[in-house]
Homo-oligomer: A and B are copies of this chain.
């Protein structure tokens, strides 16, 4: 068994509180007793029980992080950044990958509360139900996708997806493309929705018909990008340019194009969000919007820590994004 304060106390013939005082450097203790305690602690390999301490002190040093799919490069980078920021502040992460299951998300959320986390950073999947039937004021920061239908206030950090999407679309148009299609993300998610709306708005503003056949419904995954594009190829319906909702879909799209010998950007243009991952497309950057992952993570951490000191204070942050000129559009 692990040594406890009590064990040490018995060992050195002191009271538990004195031992506690020594180990926490609180209160005054005679030098020799202090030494005795420290020696015993070392000898007995004493390890404090943080859970007990936090139960007593009514604090918590763990933050729950819920994400839909950690194999997605955007989320994994966010996770890593969050971990580092929190580590610096003395916090730990309980990691929850929901596999995009709303049910799992809810179960994880419940569990995190039971584990007494100091706060939760969640990038919800689909129409997140987290805030349904939730009367408790839990310290929760949403990232990327907003919770569905709640009049309760909440904290949120992301970028302005609609605006970014419009800018991107406009860039494509300005580059000379007019026949553009979009492969959407999961439209149950607000970020996907916003990007689609931005795309549609921009087409309209440019008097380009935004007919239904410009929109293909993906699900944020590689496979949907791949399959949609392969179908387009087979149907001889390839447009001049493909706008994929995220990098993963774009990789899928790219793979399908390459499989059929269609070159990017010579034969077709390709844009997306978060296409800058150098590891993923052998050094080829995909032109498009790049979300400031680090800043988003940092803001989320800041917000969740701040909410601890000022409970009930909610905050909504839309961070500036970057435009990346990659190698997947023809020069005008």
> Which residues of A approach B to under 8 Å, CB–CB?
2, 45, 47-52, 54-55, 62, 65, 70-71, 73, 76-77, 79-80, 83-84, 87, 92-97, 99, 104, 110-111, 113-116, 135-136, 222, 226, 248, 251-252, 254-256, 258-259, 278-283
Q: Return A6 CB to nearest CB of chain B, in Å.
A: 14
Say yes or no: B278 contacts A258, CB within 8 Å.
no
Please tell me how many copies of the chain the complex holds: 2
Q: Return A212 CB to nearest CB of chain B, in Å.
A: 29
Q: In the complex the two chains form, what is the Cα distance from A116 to B80 in whole Å?
A: 23
Say yes or no: B95 contacts A111, CB within 8 Å.
no
Query: Contacts A258-B282, A281-B282, A282-B281 hold; do A83 and B54 have CB atoms under 8 A apart?
Result: no
Q: In the complex the two chains form, what is the Cα distance from A303 to B190 in whole Å?
A: 41
Q: Return A73 CB to nearest CB of chain B, in Å.
A: 8
Query: Contacts A49-B116, A114-B48, A278-B222 hold; do A83 and B95 have CB atoms under 8 A apart?
Result: yes
New A-B contacts (14) at CB < 8 Å, excluding given A2-B136, A255-B278, A258-B282: A45-B136, A47-B114, A48-B114, A49-B114, A50-B116, A79-B97, A83-B96, A83-B97, A92-B96, A93-B94, A222-B279, A226-B283, A252-B279, A258-B283
